[in-house]
Structure 1
Amino acid sequence: MSPTWTPSASSYTRLEALFTDDQHALRERVLWRMLYETAARAEEILSLNIEDLDLEYRRARVRSKGGAIEYVRWATATARLLPRLLKGRTAGPVFLAGRRAPTSGRRAPAAADICPITGRGRLSYPRAEYLFKTASAGLDPHRDGWTLHQLRHSALQHLAQAGRTAPELQAKSRHQHLSSLGRYVRLGEETSARITAEHDPAARRRKR
């Protein structure tokens, strides 16, 4: 198992190079970009149907880990690429497999997982993960490639580095508990010390 990847200040540059490299298929570049910009779980994005998208407001309706219906939002880069990926399709999975889905037998997917126009099935998590690990291996210092879930971690790490607060990160990531965000904003003793110092009336009077 490869070591856990901790995004660094230079990670965004490496990710941007991956997102914009035309040697990778449009489907993959849209998926990777959307995962990063929404900071959503990979399962949520791969489960999206076109009917879940609100292109005008750059958001999509997802079913969260706990089963609730929530919204994730993306930025300009994803907004520009999505119409190219959809090619006028108005129903069915957003991210499609490369082949037509079998129509019978135990491997035949549910009707909701098949594009009504192309007959292709929904892109699976294992296939999407494999393609991302393969594409990112050359940029990974360990040469193992990265997992799709690491895009979520990377997005939150970069937002924290940009000064976003724990509640803001919680709103973006939809974590149920602030404690889950400690790895990004260093919640704990350091935060307690900073808050105490910043809200010390006696210290403010001494500075006058």
Structure 2
Amino acid sequence: MPVVAFPGMPGPDSPADDRAAVADAVARFLDSLDAATTRRSYACTLARLTAASGTRHPVAALDCDHYATVMDHWAAAEPATWNRHLSALVSFTTWAQRQDLLATNPARRLRRRKTTRRGDRALPAARLEALFADDRHALRERVLWRLLYETAARAEEILSLDVGDLDLEYRRARVVSKGGALEYVHWATATARLLPRLLKGRQTGPVFLTDRRAPASGRRAPAAADICPITGRGRLSYPRAEHLFKTASAELDPHGDGWTLHQLRHSALTHLAAAGRTAPELQAKSRHQHLSSLGHYVRLGEETSARITAEHDPAARRRTR
């Protein structure tokens, strides 16, 4: 009895080269993304999909169990982290369906998680300054943290910087924004003093490097653009940078959990709003396309609440004589 394959499914007699393998499809999907920051973020998620299914597994044979295995890795993560990785899987699925590689939706059983708006996302400026000035932390980390705060940029944008993107004279850097546009971010004196110490005369390669030399071959070998030609070290990854920041900030966090890199952007914009900067000024700094997007960042939170309470405390008032 002859076997007829469903559309998008390889037949039993199809040559192996004609079957779209997961690893090959993932590589093509990532190449189709314009924004380097999105590509780097999605690559982390889809690497786990390749590992869960096998590199030569046909895309058409992906099922809900493969996707569930991938997302199990972030089962205990914050809702925002879960949703970010799920978005990567959904985007790959949509692309594969458009390419006629996949007839089903393996993500159909997975649901986005509801995020809870927190009122303490902005960090106290005094605690941030104590963290930035603490010499127990490596120079690389202190430069990264200050740069993220002073530019109010996204962590992916700053970690994607190459030395050639920096304009040290005008204290600015060219970044590829979330939508793929080329934009500039600006930093202040503290970062300007530290950056030359970090670069040590390097003219090319990533700004933020790993501690060890990057593998030259194998599955873990990074792209040539992510390796410093002078030191042979690779580009610092977002997960590693996030781990270092959470670990370092845990002792300053009253809850002991540590802070996230995104909270530096959130804090910078909140502090500028508290200092009286207008909405258009904040939009210029954050590079949001719509003013309405700033509402998530510039709620004047705990520090403002504490100051207002203290200023209007009847017991603290003194009569002038």
TM (norm. structure 2) is: 0.56
Aligned-partner Cα distance in 1 for 2:206–2:185: 17
| Equivalent residue number for residue 173 of structure 2 | 60
Q: 1:7 aligns with which of 122, 127, 132?
A: 122
Cα deviation per residue 1:82-115 (whole Å; 9 max; x = unaligned)? 0000001110000000000000011110111000
Aligned-partner Cα distance in 1 for 2:298–2:244: 31
Give the conservation status (yes or no) of the 8 Å contact 2:177–2:183. Answer: yes
Highest relative contact order (Cα 8 Å, sep 6+), 1 or 2? Answer: 1
Alpha-carbon deviation of 1:6? 2.8
Give the conservation status (yes or no) of the 8 Å contact 1:52–1:61. Answer: yes
Instruction: State whether structure 2 residue 269 is matched by structure 1 residue 174.
Output: no
Q: 1:32 to 1:185 in 2, by over 3 A?
A: closer
Equivalent position amino acid for 1:106 in 2: R
Instruction: State whether structure 2 residue 212 is matched by structure 1 residue 99.
Output: yes
Equivalent residue of 1:159, what SS?
helix
| Equivalent residue number for residue 41 of structure 2 | none
Alpha-carbon deviation of 1:182? 1.6
Which is higher, the Rg of structure 1 or of structure 2?
Answer: 2
Aligned-partner Cα distance in 2 for 1:56–1:26: 21
| Gap regions ≥5 residues in structure 2 | 1-76, 79-115, 300-321
1:74-113 map, 5 Å: 74-113=187-226
Q: 1:42 aligns with which of 126, 148, 155?
A: 155
| Equivalent residue number for residue 236 of structure 2 | 123
Aligned-partner Cα distance in 2 for 1:128–1:185: 25
| Equivalent residue number for residue 130 of structure 2 | 17
Alpha-carbon deviation of 1:7? 2.1
Aligned-partner Cα distance in 2 for 1:37–1:163: 17
Aligned-partner Cα distance in 2 for 1:74–1:112: 25
Give the conservation status (yes or no) of the 8 Å contact 1:102–1:109. Answer: yes
Instruction: State whether structure 2 residue 249 is matched by structure 1 residue 136.
Output: yes
Equivalent position amino acid for 1:74 in 2: W
| Equivalent residue number for residue 108 of structure 2 | none
| Gap regions ≥5 residues in structure 1 | 187-208
Cα deviation per residue 1:113-157 (whole Å; 9 max; x = unaligned)? 000000000000000000000000011111100000000000000
Give the conservation status (yes or no) of the 8 Å contact 1:101–1:109. Answer: yes
Aligned-partner Cα distance in 2 for 1:156–1:48: 21
Equivalent position amino acid for 1:121 in 2: G
Cα deviation per residue 1:156-205 (whole Å; 9 max; x = unaligned)? 0000000001110000000111001124456xxxxxxxxxxxxxxxxxxx
Aligned-partner Cα distance in 2 for 1:21–1:127: 20
TM (norm. structure 1) is: 0.86
Aligned-partner Cα distance in 1 for 2:149–2:298: 18
Give the conservation status (yes or no) of the 8 Å contact 2:153–2:265. Answer: yes
Give the conservation status (yes or no) of the 8 Å contact 2:250–2:258. Answer: yes
Aligned-partner Cα distance in 2 for 1:110–1:145: 31
Equivalent position amino acid for 2:145 in 1: W
Aligned residues: 185
Equivalent position amino acid for 1:130 in 2: H
Aligned-partner Cα distance in 2 for 1:35–1:182: 20
Aligned-partner Cα distance in 2 for 1:184–1:111: 36
* Superposition RMSD in Å: 1.5
